[in-house]
């Protein structure tokens, strides 16, 4: 997605974002940028609408939001078309990543909300037990600002907004400047399902608009995006003691044990590092394979990677989303090559006008290389040989990131033993990347990968203030 910002032609004109397709760079849309005043006005409307929304019984809010599943299903082709136009994702990826989990999130949260947000009595054990009763109520926070990235532009916008609304908050969403219409769909389907207009709103623009939303009179920030932006938001929130959840970047490690099903591990390595063209926060970004099985694993990975089709139309893999991403991916591959890694498949931008990068396999990578230390976000399987599983754990933990990770072994107990030693947000056995789509799993990063959780059984309560009330017996 190339993006051009046109300056206002005359005083009083708005800045506009001009969007080009990552597939062939043809112009697809123009979006008016919301000013700081627009953002403040949206937040003021959201604040005014919040008490009435919070006053509705949670079961009523849940029923409205549940009916968004029907709207989503009815509108799926249009949503997919928008996502595909803005990102170039293949049809299957758009359906599998954006639509299916979104239905699942709506079903899950609307089912959980009446139970999780119900005031409850908490038994006391201390000295006040004979005289008092403790109740806990879950009060909405007020207005939640939701700021989202371009790589899962619909689902990553919908999921936090739905949780915020179920908890009785109102929300203002600022989707990525490169996927504004995909984000806008998350708000549109909720309006069509019956959520009042001011209860959930969208504002458009780049970092300037995002910063204006953080600076506005909101009560919580729910941010998904890069580490650099996350730090800025955390700093702005710290000034005002504003709660925030930060879902940031990753450099997820995959560990291939000596007893792994190598065919399955190779299929996983290729799919999970190249799915969405590698532009998933939980992509497999580095692979540690035990030396005794490394040659065979590399042979299988190379064979599969060479078979991945890419380009416009009905292919396995779409483009990188914008030039910035192309530059990072090319830089990391060049750096690995210069420092002695072997590029056994691909390794360069594809010919043509689109933002396609060849499916690439890098072997004999090490931690002096950016490809093993910085988030690449490209279709790269970067492989490092390790002596044994202990060394794999050590290398996996040698990272500034800690979002997710995976362990490939036939032994489920061993997978759990290894997982328990990893300093990361979550771990998947014989698979990866799927965990964000599991609403029961508390998903969140450690180290530079973030703060707080978006999913998990306590997630809805994260959008509330749990209010303890001590009542006389």
Q: Is 214 in the site for ligand NAD (CB under 6 A)?
A: yes
Site string for ligand NAD, 431-450 (x = CB under 6 A): --------------x----x
Residue (154 or 297) nearer to ligand NAD, CB:
154
Q: Catalytic residue among 247, 370, 374, 375, which?
A: 247
Q: Is 460 in the site for ligand NAD (CB under 6 A)?
A: no
State which H helix or E strand residue 294 sits in. Answer: helix 291-307
Phi, psi of 11, rounded to the nearest 5 degrees: -55, 135
Give the CA-trace dihedral at 20, 353, 90, 374, to 10 degrees. -90
Interface residue with ligand NAD among 22, 142, 180, 249 (CB under 6 A) is 249
Interface residue with ligand NAD among 142, 160, 250, 462 (CB under 6 A) is 250
Q: Is 150 in the site for ligand NAD (CB under 6 A)?
A: yes
Q: The tokens of 255 are what?
A: 């560990």
Helix (H, G, I), strand (E, B) or coil at 399: coil
Q: Is 187 in the site for ligand NAD (CB under 6 A)?
A: no
Residue (110 or 148) nearer to ligand NAD, CB:
148
Residue (90 or 152) nearer to ligand NAD, CB:
152
Q: The tokens of 292 are what?
A: 């005794």
Q: How far is the CB of 459 from ligand NAD (least distance, A)?
A: 13
Site string for ligand NAD, 267-296 (x = CB under 6 A): --------------x---------------
Q: Is 247 in the site for ligand NAD (CB under 6 A)?
A: yes
Residue (176 or 302) nearer to ligand NAD, CB:
176
User: Using CB under 6 A, which of the segments 108-116, 248-256, 284-292, 383-391 binds ligand NAD?
Assistant: 248-256
Residue 30 bears catalytic tag: no
Ordered DSSP codes for 182-228: HHHHHHHHHHHHT--TTTEEE---SHHHHHHHHHSS-SEEEEES-HH
Question: What is the radius of gyration, based on Cα positions, of the chain?
Answer: 23
Residue holding tokens 């799919």? 271
How many Å from the N-terminal Cα to the C-terminal Cα in the chain? 63
Q: Which of 163, 212, 175 lies closest to 58, judged by CA?
A: 163
Interface residue with ligand NAD among 33, 147, 392, 396 (CB under 6 A) is 147
User: Using CB under 6 A, which of the segments 57-65, 97-105, 205-213, 331-339 binds ligand NAD?
Assistant: 205-213
Interface residue with ligand NAD among 61, 76, 174, 220 (CB under 6 A) is 174
User: Using CB under 6 A, which of the segments 43-51, 226-234, 345-353, 415-423 binds ligand NAD?
Assistant: 226-234
User: Which of 280-290 are b and which e, b meaning 16 or more Cβ less than 10 Å from the residue's Cβ?
Assistant: bbbbbbbbbbb
Q: How far is the CB of 13 from ligand NAD (least distance, A)?
A: 21
C-beta separation of 247 from 450 below 8 A: yes
Q: Catalytic residue among 177, 222, 281, 374, which?
A: 281
Q: Which of 452, 449, 455, 459 lies closest to 423, judged by CA?
A: 449
Residue 247 bears catalytic tag: yes
Q: Is 201 in the site for ligand NAD (CB under 6 A)?
A: no
Phi, psi of 380, rounded to the nearest 5 degrees: -125, 125
Question: Considering only residues 387-406, where is the footprint of ligand NAD by CB under 6 A?
Answer: 403
Reported residue count of the chain is: 473
CA 457 to mean position of chain CA atoms: 18
- Please identify every residue annotated as catalytic: 247, 281
């Amino acid at each position: 997605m190339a993006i051009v910002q046109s300056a206002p032609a005359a005083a009083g004109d708005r800045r506009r974002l001009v969007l080009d397709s990552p597939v062939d760079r043809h112009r697809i849309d123009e979006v008016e940028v919301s000013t700081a005043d627009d953002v403040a006005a949206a937040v003021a409307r959201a604040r005014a609408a919040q008490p009435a929304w919070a006053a509705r019984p949670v079961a009523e809010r849940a029923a409205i939001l549940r009916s968004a599943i029907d709207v989503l299903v009815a509108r799926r082709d249009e949503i997919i078309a928008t996502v595909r136009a803005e990102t170039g994702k293949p049809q299957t990826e758009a359906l599998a990543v954006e639509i299916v989990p979104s239905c699942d999130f709506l079903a899950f949260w609307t089912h959980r909300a009446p139970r999780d947000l119900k005031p409850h009595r908490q038994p006391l054990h201390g000295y006040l037990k004979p005289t008092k009763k403790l109740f806990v109520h879950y009060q909405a926070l007020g207005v939640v600002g939701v700021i989202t990235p371009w790589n899962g532009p619909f689902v990553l916008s919908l999921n936090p907004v739905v949780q915020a609304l179920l908890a009785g908050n109102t929300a203002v969403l600022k989707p990525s400047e490169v996927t504004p219409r995909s984000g806008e769909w998350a708000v549109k389907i909720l309006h069509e399902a019956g959520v009042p207009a001011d209860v959930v709103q969208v504002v458009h623009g780049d970092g300037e608009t995002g910063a204006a939303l953080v600076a506005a009179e909101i009560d919580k920030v729910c941010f998904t995006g890069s580490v650099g932006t996350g730090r800025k938001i955390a700093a702005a929130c710290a000034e005002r003691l504003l709660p925030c959840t930060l879902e940031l970047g990753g450099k997820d490690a995959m560990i291939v044990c000596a007893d792994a099903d190598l065919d399955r591990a190779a299929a996983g390595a290729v799919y999970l590092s190249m799915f969405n063209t590698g532009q998933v926060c939980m992509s497999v970004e580095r692979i540690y394979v035990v030396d005794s099985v490394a040659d065979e694993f590399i042979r299988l990975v190379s064979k599969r990677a060479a078979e991945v089709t890419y380009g416009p139309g009905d292919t396995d893999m779409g483009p990188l989303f914008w030039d910035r991403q192309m530059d990072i991916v090319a830089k990391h591959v060049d750096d690995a090559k210069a420092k002695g890694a072997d590029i056994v498949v691909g390794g360069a931008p594809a010919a043509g006008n689109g933002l396609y990068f060849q499916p690439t396999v890098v072997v004999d990578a090490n931690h002096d290389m950016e490809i093993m230390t910085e988030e690449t976000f490209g279709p790269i399987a970067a492989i490092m040989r390790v002596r044994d599983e202990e060394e794999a754990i050590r290398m996996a933990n040698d990272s500034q990131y800690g979002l997710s990770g995976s362990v490939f072994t036939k032994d489920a107990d061993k997978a759990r033993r290894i997982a328990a030693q990893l300093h990361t947000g979550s771990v998947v056995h014989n698979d990866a990347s799927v965990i964000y789509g599991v609403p029961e799993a508390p998903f969140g990063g450690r180290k530079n990968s973030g703060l707080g959780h978006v999913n998990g059984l306590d997630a809805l309560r994260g959008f509330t203030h749990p209010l303890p009330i001590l009542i006389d017996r």
